[in-house]
Structure 1
Amino acid sequence: MAANQDMKRVVRQSKFRHVFGQAVKNDQCYDDIRVSRVTWDSSFCAVNPKFVAIIIEASGGGAFLVLPLLKTGRIDKSYPTVCGHTGPVLDIDWCPHNDHVIASGSEDCTVMVWQIPENGLVTSMAEPVVVLEGHSKRVGIITWHPTARNVLLSAGCDNQIIIWNVGTGEAMITLDEMHPDVIYNVTWNRNGSLICTACKDKAIRVIDPRKEMIVADNMEEAMTVNEMDTSNGVLLPFYDPDTNVVYLCGKGDSSIRYFEITDEAPYVHFLSTFATKEPQRGMGYMPKRGLDVNKCEIARFYKLHERKCEPIVMTVPRKSDLFQDDLYPDTSGPDHALEAEEWFDGKNGDPILISLKNGYVPGKNREFKVVKKNILDSKNTENSGPANKSKSGAKLEEILKEVKSLKDLVSSQDKRIAKLEEQMSNIAI
Structure 2
Amino acid sequence: MCRAPAPPAGPARRAAREEAAALGAGTRPAARSAEPEPDATAAAATCAAVIKMSWNPQYRSSKFRHVFGKPASKENCYDSVPITHSVHDNHFCAVNPHFIAVVTECAGGGAFLVIPLHQVMIWNLDTKEVVIMSPVKTIDCHQDVILSMSFNTNGSLLATTCKDRKIRILDPRAGTVLQEASYKGHRANKVLFLGNLKKLLSTGTSRWNNRQMALWDQDDLSVPLTEEDLDGSSGVLFPFYDVDTNMLYVVGKGDGNIRYYEVSADKPHLSYLTEYRSYNPQKGIGVMPKRGLDVCSCEIFRFYKLITTKSLIEPVSMIVPRRSESYQEDIYPPTAGAQPSLTAQEWLRGMNKGPVLVSLRPGSGLLSPWPLTPERPLSNSMASVSPQLFDQTQKLAVEDGQRPFSLLSEKVPRWAAEHRLEEKKSWVTNGFDIFECPPPKTENELLQMFYRQQEEIRRLRELVAQREVLAKQLELEIKNLRMGSERF
TM, length-normalised to structure 1: 0.61
The aligned counterpart of 1:302 is: 304
The aligned counterpart of 2:361 is: 357
Matching of residue 336 in structure 1 with residue 299 in structure 2 = no
The aligned counterpart of 1:375 is: none
Instruction: State the AA in 2 paired with 1:366.
Output: R
- The total of aligned residue pairs comes to 278
The alignment's C-alpha RMSD in Å is 2.5
Q: Give, in angstroms, the shift of residue 360 of structure 1.
A: 7.7
Q: Distance in 2 between matches of 1:341 and 1:268?
A: 38
8 Å CA contact 1:205–1:216 kept in 2: the answer is yes
The aligned counterpart of 1:44 is: 92
8 Å CA contact 1:206–1:216 kept in 2: the answer is yes
The aligned counterpart of 2:176 is: 213
Q: Distance in 1 between matches of 2:153 and 2:109?
A: 35
Instruction: State the AA in 2 paired with 1:217.
Output: E
The aligned counterpart of 1:175 is: 139
Q: Distance in 2 between matches of 1:181 and 1:174?
A: 15
The 5 A counterparts of 1:187-266 are 187-218=150-181, 219-266=221-268
Structure 1, 217-226 or 268-277: larger mean CA deviation = 217-226
3-state secondary structure, aligned to 2:303 = strand
Q: Deviations over 1:197-251 (max 9, x none)?
A: 1111110111111121112211341101111015131111111111111111101
3-state secondary structure, aligned to 1:9 = coil
2:328 alignment partner, one of 324, 330, 333:
324
Q: 1:359 to 1:305 in 2, by over 3 A?
A: farther
Structure of larger gyration radius: 2
Matching of residue 9 in structure 1 with residue 62 in structure 2 = no
2:420 alignment partner, one of 366, 375, 398:
366
Q: Distance in 1 between matches of 2:342 and 2:166?
A: 31
3-state secondary structure, aligned to 2:229 = coil
Q: Distance in 2 between matches of 1:28 and 1:7?
A: 47
Q: Give, in angstroms, the shift of residue 21 of structure 1.
A: 0.5
Q: Distance in 2 between matches of 1:272 and 1:197?
A: 29
Q: Give, in angstroms, the shift of residue 309 of structure 1.
A: 0.3
8 Å CA contact 2:60–2:271 kept in 1: the answer is no
The aligned counterpart of 2:81 is: 33
Q: 1:7 to 1:255 in 2, by over 3 A?
A: farther
Instruction: State the AA in 1 paired with 2:122.
Output: I
3-state secondary structure, aligned to 1:366 = helix
The 5 A counterparts of 1:4-153 are 6-7=54-55, 9-61=57-109, 86-87=111-112, 108-109=113-114, 135-136=115-116
Q: Give, in angstroms, the shift of residue 359 of structure 1.
A: 6.6
Q: Give, in angstroms, the shift of residue 305 of structure 1.
A: 0.5
Q: Deviations over 1:88-125 (max 9, x none)?
A: xxxxxxxxxxxxxxxxxxxx23xxxxxxxxxxxxxxxx
3-state secondary structure, aligned to 2:169 = strand
Instruction: State the AA in 2 paired with 1:202.
Output: R
8 Å CA contact 2:263–2:269 kept in 1: the answer is yes
Q: 1:12 to 1:6 in 2, by over 3 A?
A: farther
Q: Distance in 2 between matches of 1:229 and 1:15?
A: 27
TM, length-normalised to structure 2: 0.54
Which runs of at least 4 in structure 1 moved beyond 6 Å after TM superposition?
2-5
Query: Greater strand percent: which structure?
Result: 1
Tell me which of the two structures has the higher relative contact order, counting C-alpha pairs closer than 8 angstroms and 6 or more residues apart.
1
Q: Distance in 2 between matches of 1:206 and 1:331?
A: 25
Q: Give, in angstroms, the shift of residue 311 of structure 1.
A: 0.2
- Percent identity between matched residues is 43
The aligned counterpart of 2:351 is: 347
8 Å CA contact 1:293–1:359 kept in 2: the answer is no
Q: 1:295 to 1:7 in 2, by over 3 A?
A: farther
Query: Greater helix percent: which structure?
Result: 2
Q: Give, in angstroms, the shift of residue 60 of structure 1.
A: 2.9
The aligned counterpart of 1:278 is: 280
Q: Deviations over 1:110-151 (max 9, x none)?
A: xxxxxxxxxxxxxxxxxxxxxxxxx34xxxxxxxxxxxxxxx
Q: Distance in 2 between matches of 1:4 and 1:54?
A: 55
3-state secondary structure, aligned to 2:150 = strand
